[in-house]
Amino acid sequence: MNGAETMEFFIDHSRCIGCKACVQACEECDTHRGVSLIHLETIMRPDSVQTAPQVCMHCEDPICAQVCPADAIKKTPDGVVQSSLKPRCIGCSNCVLACPFGVPKYKAEINQMMKCDMCYDRTSVGKRPMCATVCPSGALTFTTRENIERTRQGMAIRDWQFGGETVRTKVNVLVPRNVQKITVTIEQIEATSTNEYDVANLLLGD
């Protein structure tokens, strides 16, 4: 990591408008042409239009690789966690179930796990990943840290807490400046409904 010149991936879920340009562009990527690997979740449509993209976060110590019985998930020297090695992956789905970010996809028809590899065909030759190039909202951005700090109110962090498990990722998430890490709590997990965006409530006024 040599500071200014290094391009990094930044996610700001709250910018997402759910247009799925990323989903459509993902399958144009040469390492998995025809298969879209990014996730785009509609959080709870009856209540809200909130959506969220999820690319692979490229953990420093990937849990997917740790739980892989076939030793099929490898990280490149530049820290990109690759799709499963085709000769090794036995399609067991351990990684799919254990990844704290819910990233790997099990493809039953080829009996193999595939996941976002940060468009390795592009990023390894200095191009930006498909999704972060096309994203019209800036929810997904591939740029320098310096550029993000200059143009965004938030701060780019890469530490996550899932219960007792701390995870550090290569991909950054944008949060307000006072936040050091994102902790996923049982309260958030159980928050499956909201009236915050109920137009009927808004019409009642103060």
Partner 1 sequence: MKSAERPNSVLKVSMANRRDLVHATLWGLGVATALLVAIFVGSNSLKHYDAALVPYTGACVFSAFGIGYRFAMWLRRPPTRKYWFRGWGIFFRPSKLARNVVRLAQVFFSDFFAQRFIEKRSPARWAAHWLIAWGCILAAAVTFPLSFGWVHFENAPGNQEIYRAFVFGQHVSTFHLGTITAALTFNILDISAVMVLMGVALALFRRARDRGAISVQQFAQDMMPLLMLFAISITGLFLTASTYLLHGLNYGFLSMLHAVTVIFTLLYLPFGKFFHVFQRPAQIGVQFYKEEGARTEQAVCLRCGAPFASRMHIEDLKDVENSLGIHYQLPGGGHYQDVCPVCRRKSLAVAQDEKWREQGTRAAASQPAGGIWPNHQ
Partner 2 sequence: MAKPPVTIPELVSQFGPTLNRIPAHGWNAEVEPDRIVKTHCCFCGQQCGIQLKVKDNRVIGFEPWEDFPFNQGRLCPKGVKRYMQDEHRDRLKAPLMRKEGTGFVPVSWDEALDKVAGEIKRIQQTHGPDSFALLGGASLTNEKAYLMGKFARVAVKTANIDYNGRLCMVSAAAASKKVFGIDRAANPWSDIPLARAILIAGANIAECAPITTNYLWQARENGAKLIVMDPRITPIARNADLYIPVRPGGDIGVFNGMLHIMIERGWINREFIAQHTTGWEQVEETVRKYTPEYASRIAGVPASMIVKAAEIWGPASTSFLLHARGIEHHTKGVLNCMAAINLVVATGRIGREGCGYAMITGQGNGQGGREQGQKCDQLPGGRDIENPEHRKYIAGVWGVPEESIPHKGLSIIPIFEAIHAGKIKGLLAISSNPMVSLPNNSYIREAFEKLEFFSQIDFFMSETARHADVVLAGSLMEEDEGTTTNVEGRVIHHKKVVDPPDDARVDWKIICDIAARLGQAGKFTFDSPKEIFDELRVASKGGICDYYGITWDRIDREYGVCWPCPSADHPGTPRLYEGNKFNHPDGKAHFQPVEWQPAAEEADGEYPIILTTGRVVSHYLSGTQTRRIGALVDQYPQPLCEMHPQLAAKLGIAEGDFVKVESRRGSVTVRASVVKTIRPDTVFVPYHWPLDRAANNMTVRAIDPISNIPEYKICAVRVSKVPEPHDAIAELEMEAGGVR
Q: Which of 7, 41, 48, 76 binds partner 2 (CB under 8 A)?
A: 48
* Stretch of 2-10, 86-94, 100-108, 190-198 lying at the interface with partner 2 (CB under 8 A): 190-198
Local structure of 13: helix, strand or coil: helix
Q: Is 30 in the site for partner 2 (CB under 8 A)?
A: yes
**Residue 156 beta carbon to partner 1: minimum distance, rounded to whole angstroms:** 12
Phi/psi-derived region of residue 18, left when phi > 0, alpha when psi is between -120 and 50, beta in every other case: left
Integer Cα distance of 129 and 116 in angstroms: 10
Question: Residue 94 and residue 192: Cα distance in Å, rounded?
Answer: 26
- When CB distances are held under 5 to 8 angstroms depending on the partner's kind, the choice from partner 2, partner 1, none that residue 126 binds is none
Q: What is the CA radius of gyration of the chain?
A: 18
Q: Can you tell me which of 8, 52, 145, 147 binds partner 1, judged by CB under 8 A?
A: 52
| Pairwise CA distance, residues 101 & 108, whole Å | 20
Site string for partner 2, 120-139 (x = CB under 8 A): -x------x-x--xxxxxx-
CA 173 centroid distance within chain: 9
Near partner 1 in 71-130, by CB under 8 A = 71, 82-83, 86-88, 90-94, 96-103, 109-112, 117, 120-122, 124-125
